[in-house]
Amino acid sequence: MTYLRKSTYKTIEKSQWLSLIFCLVLTSVFAQKGRIAPFPQELTVHAGETFDITWWVHPGQDPVAAIDFVLWYDQMAIEPLKIENIESPLNINAMKPFIDREKGQIVYAAFKLNDPWPKDPFPLLKLRLKALDVTGVSSLFHDSTIIPSTSMAFEGHNTLEKADDLKVTILSNEPKHSASFDKLSLPRIEIDEESGLYHFQFSSDDSGVTRIMVSQVEGSIPDMVWETRVEKGRVYNYVINPAVLPPGKYNLTLQTAGGLKVEQEVDF
């Protein structure tokens, strides 16, 4: 398997950066417990396939007033198709979201002018991405050594502890088969005690389209759904970071276009 190098990138010129947050953030440390993470954090796709990733925010100890989101990607492996606004409590864009295809960069900036400030986990944005015809593992990453970078702020202080990267495993593009299944394995779930990440994988004895859904058993957050093409005999890996979601019980469901369905309850 070929591992793809991070693409070369440059600093954004000051004249391009109109975001509010860097007028607010101070150098002092102020309860830096906030976290931004993709959901899922790792996934397996085929070359040529499109997929959606939602980025979630966990404010930590303090509310959130503004976020700058700067994500780098490898132009040889990933093509961003769309930045989608979703029902985020940060309801004003400090600048028009944009994709810089030359630099391999996705930029999004949002804020809220007044109380109530979000204190609970919430979705920030959704990215529609396409895996290009390069097999291997590619990361979409944040780089805090370059200004501007991904940041979170409240009352003039940086409250971001960590911005997690997205890891995409791209498999070769094989011919499409029937969109129905005879057998689908129950996903195997493992918890990494050190990182707190949930790893789950599944495979099939047939090929076709599978819907993967994570839904809260009791709660109001929207269901998170992905659709992916599955090829016979291959193992598909996903990693979920529950740290950015409200704690509780969730259902993990796999469902094929032919109607076959397996479901498992997990505690996040």
Domains located in the chain, CATH noted: 18-171 (2.60.40.680), 188-267 (2.60.40.10)
Res 37 pLDDT > 70: yes
Give residues with Cβ within 8 angstroms of 116, minimum separation 6: none
Question: How large is the average pLDDT for residues 24-38?
Answer: 63
Backbone angles phi, psi at 242, to 5 degrees: -75, -5
pLDDT at 18: 37
What confidence score (pLDDT) does residue 118 get? 92
Residue 56 predicted with pLDDT over 90: yes
Across the chain, mean pLDDT equals 80
Q: Give the residue from 6, 49, 255 showing the smallest Cα distance to 143.
A: 6
Q: What is the mean pLDDT of residues 76-89?
A: 92
- Give the model confidence (pLDDT) of 179-238 as tens digits: 333 455 556 777 787 888 888 887 776 677 788 888 888 877 777 877 777 777 778 888
Instruction: Report pTM.
Output: 0.77
pLDDT tops 70 at residue 176: no
State the average pLDDT over residues 242-255: 83
What residue type is assigned to position 77 of the chain? Answer: A
Instruction: Show the tokens assigned to 127.
Output: 């990215």
Share of the chain above pLDDT 90, in %: 37
Rounded CA gap, 186 and 239, in Å? 16
Instruction: Give the pLDDT band of residue 245 (cuts 50, 70, 90).
Output: confident
**In the predicted model, what is the mean pLDDT of residues 23-35?**
54
Evaluate if residue 137 carries a pLDDT over 90: yes
pLDDT at 194: 83
